[in-house]
Amino acid sequence: MARLRKLARLRIRGPGLHLSALRADTAPIVYLHALNFDAWTFAPFLRTVGGTAVDLRGHGHSGAPSDGYWLGALAADVGFVLKALSRGPVTLIGQSLGARVALGVAATFPWAVSRLVLVEGGVDLEAGVQRELMARMQAFPTTFTSAPDALSALTAAYPLIGASSARAIVRSNLSNGHWRSPTHARVGIVRSWNAASESLAAEVRSPTLVIRADASHHWTAAQAHSFVQKFRCETRLIEMAGSHYLLQDAPGALLERIAANGFLPAS
């Protein structure tokens, strides 16, 4: 795990959609990022343990069609990527939105997933939280004069994001003054956010690790425990110190907890 791996970009032609991914090597691990992020957010994991990180549609270098941002479509995109990679079952690790998509992939393509790791994601948002998130998505600019300008706008729109997390988001999404994830993609995802996550849990057959931050503003400890009870497979819930942005704030500690619980494939 000490060797640093080079990252290479993959371009995959899906059904009417170009999808993009970052690959470090052929390790059977696939990563799915959070809303507003892209594959680069998993660079610390890629360089340490290898694998492939996918740009979800409407994010990073993947295509951004006018529709298709509901959970089933995002999961189908990832299923196509898994088929294109021509690997056996993979360990699927998702953060926030990526965790919801990973849940959909594991439920829909059970033969493709050997282990499932859900970081800060899994239960449906309350209506008020969803409305607030939608308002922020619609008000957030799409062009900026500079990276500091984008950073200022992001921290104003999302005050709970820490400074290091905000900088990571800007590095991932800002290109020539334009935000990579277009407004219609982000709004489309939020509109379909409540996509029966809890009912999908009952369809998962892979051993599952659910990780909640103890200062999470997305779900309570009680909600997390209730969510875990929906699974019919081997499922473990752990809590870590930190906010919703565990991956951005403490990637090393997060990776260590995943490995310590036996959810990384043997190297």
Instruction: Judge whether 142 lies within some domain.
Output: no
What is the C-alpha separation between 14 and 12, in angstroms, rounded? 6
Q: Six-digit token pair at 162? A: 């820490």
The pTM of the whole model exceeds 0.75: yes
User: pLDDT digits over 177-214, tens only?
Assistant: 999 889 999 899 988 876 667 788 999 999 999 999 99
Mean pLDDT of the chain: 90
Bridge partners, 179 (sequence order)? 174
Predicted confidence at residue 256, as pLDDT, reads 97
Q: How many domains does the chain have?
A: 1
Instruction: Judge whether 253 lies within some domain.
Output: yes
What is the C-alpha separation between 125 and 170, in angstroms, rounded? 25
Bridge partners, 168 (sequence order)? none
Instruction: Judge whether 232 lies within some domain.
Output: yes
What is the C-alpha separation between 163 and 145, in angstroms, rounded? 20
For residue 64, the enclosing domain spans: 8-125+185-260
Q: Quickly list H helices, the chain.
A: 43-49, 71-85, 97-108, 127-139, 147-157, 163-173, 183-191, 197-201, 221-228, 246-249, 251-260
Q: Six-digit token pair at 158? A: 């999302």
What is the C-alpha separation between 16 and 18, in angstroms, rounded? 7
What is the C-alpha separation between 177 and 81, in angstroms, rounded? 29
β-strand pairing of 90-95 with 52-55: unpaired
Predicted confidence at residue 264, as pLDDT, reads 95
Instruction: Judge whether 200 lies within some domain.
Output: yes
Confidence of residue 1 (pLDDT cuts 50, 70, 90): very low
Instruction: Name the 3-class secondary structure at 113.
Output: strand
Instruction: Judge whether 157 lies within some domain.
Output: no
Predicted confidence at residue 267, as pLDDT, reads 64
Instruction: Judge whether 169 lies within some domain.
Output: no
Predicted confidence at residue 39, as pLDDT, reads 94
- Cβ 155 vs Cβ 167: under 8 Å: no
Instruction: Judge whether 178 lies within some domain.
Output: no
Tell me the CATH number at 34.
3.40.50.1820
CA angle 95, 77, 252 (to 5 degrees): 25
What is the C-alpha separation between 132 and 9, in angstroms, rounded? 34
Instruction: Judge whether 244 lies within some domain.
Output: yes
User: pLDDT digits over 89-145, tens only?
Assistant: 999 999 999 999 999 999 999 999 999 999 998 777 778 878 888 888 888 999 999
Q: Which residue has the tokens 């004069």?
A: 145
What is the C-alpha separation between 23 and 161, in angstroms, rounded? 27
Strands ordered across the beta sheet of 17-23: 8-14, 17-23, 52-55, 29-32, 90-95, 113-119, 208-213, 235-240
Q: How many residues does the chain have?
A: 267
